[in-house]
């Protein structure tokens, strides 16, 4: 009888031990028979991007996925879904927070809803050049911004280039005065609405996918974006005038869901982070090519370009906008100034 009790106790102990081992949260598979080391975990993740397949950000996404695949010997596969296949930016972000989609590439503007400090990129004329912007992005403050998304169940991995944004319209725009009274589409953010109002125009928040029809029907007179987006969206077919005021330089951000990040071992986290940073060079090179090609294509299509030679009038007009946020973003703006 004692032997039966002992046998039963051992069986129960082994079963409980097995259950505990199965619930340990480790992502490593059971080693094959005879193997001395556990087999490393394998994953297949998805990366969403709303731009076309040949757009610079998508090329950056694919370089990132390629580097992760190479450096994990194929254990971690990242499938890139361009052209909004997995949904618009808002719905994708929600799914990233839930862990339903593992990666996305998104513009920094909507991220201000999750980390208010990202609104600094929307402040007009605070970055004088791409070099100035990248000095800031590569600084400790730039890294802290990416890390600050963790509170919203996301982790920023790297910044991608997005050039500068300027205004384009179906009406002639050769000066600041020409913008007055025009209905201009903006991204949904208070800074953008305040910016357009300060310049004398009427801000019209609208989903990006509705801008082309809005230009066609006259619901809006114009919008604002970088040259590659002005080109790839075909907005130039309706809006034949662009004034290069470079009012904003808003980077793109490559993100991973905190849920997916937590599944990775510390070694794999380092691989994913470094692959993201290493993909930036490819993305920036492609961006530079696209900007040049887009400018030529747009001019060949009859788009009238006007370069603002003196921004003083424009900067003076938006001083109330800067003043409104000066105290709130004092430390960030000090870091921006230090990056010049």
Does the pLDDT value for residue 17 go beyond 50?
no
What sign does the dihedral 219-224-225-229 (CA atoms) show? positive
Predicted pLDDT at 191: 87
| Residue 114 near residue 152, CB atoms below 8 Å | yes
Predicted pLDDT at 209: 85
Predicted pLDDT at 183: 98
Burial state string for 30-47 with b = 16 or more CB within 10 A and e = fewer than 16: eeeeeeeeeeebebebbb
pTM of the model: 0.84
Does the pLDDT value for residue 73 go beyond 70?
yes
- Tens of pLDDT, residues 256-314: 999 999 999 999 999 999 999 999 999 999 999 999 999 999 999 999 999 999 999 99
The 10 Å Cβ neighbour count of residue 64 is 28
Residue 10 corresponds to which tokens in the numbers above? Answer: 């051992």
How far out from the chain centre does Cα 9 lie?
56
Burial state string for 122-139 with b = 16 or more CB within 10 A and e = fewer than 16: bbbbbbeebebbbbbbee
Predicted pLDDT at 37: 66
- Tens of pLDDT, residues 112-129: 889 999 999 999 999 999
């Amino acid at each position: 009888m004692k032997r039966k009790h002992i046998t039963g106790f051992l069986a129960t102990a082994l079963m409980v031990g097995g259950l505990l081992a199965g619930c340990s949260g480790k992502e490593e598979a059971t080693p094959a028979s005879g193997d001395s080391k556990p087999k490393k975990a394998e994953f297949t993740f998805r990366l969403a991007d709303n731009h076309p397949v040949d757009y610079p950000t998508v090329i950056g996404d694919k370089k990132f996925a390629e580097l992760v695949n190479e450096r994990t010997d194929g254990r971690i596969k990242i499938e890139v879904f361009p052209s909004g296949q997995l949904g618009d930016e808002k719905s994708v972000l929600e799914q990233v927070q839930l862990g339903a989609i593992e990666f996305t590439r998104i513009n920094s503007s909507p991220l201000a809803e999750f980390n208010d400090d990202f609104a600094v990129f929307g402040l007009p004329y605070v970055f004088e050049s791409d070099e100035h912007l990248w000095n800031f992005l590569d600084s400790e403050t730039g890294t802290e911004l990416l890390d600050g998304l963790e509170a919203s169940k996301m982790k920023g991995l790297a910044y991608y280039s997005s050039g500068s944004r300027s205004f384009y319209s179906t009406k002639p725009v050769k000066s600041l005065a020409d913008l007055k009274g025009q209905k201009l589409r903006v991204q949904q953010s208070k800074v953008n609405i305040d910016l357009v109002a300060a310049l004398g125009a009427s801000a019209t928040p609208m989903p990006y996918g509705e801008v082309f029809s809005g230009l066609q029907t006259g619901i809006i007179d114009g919008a604002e974006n970088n040259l590659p987006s002005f080109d790839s969206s075909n907005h130039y077919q309706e809006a034949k005038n662009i004034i290069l005021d470079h009012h904003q330089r808003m980077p793109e951000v490559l993100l991973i869901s905190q849920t997916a990040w937590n599944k990775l071992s510390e070694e794999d986290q380092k691989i994913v982070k470094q692959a993201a940073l290493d993909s930036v060079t490819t993305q920036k090179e492609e961006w530079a090519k696209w900007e040049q090609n887009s400018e030529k294509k747009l001019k060949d299509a009859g788009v009238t370009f006007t370069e603002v030679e003196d921004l003083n009038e424009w900067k003076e007009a938006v001083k109330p906008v800067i003043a409104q946020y000066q105290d709130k973003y004092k430390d960030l703006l000090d870091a921006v100034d230090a990056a010049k």
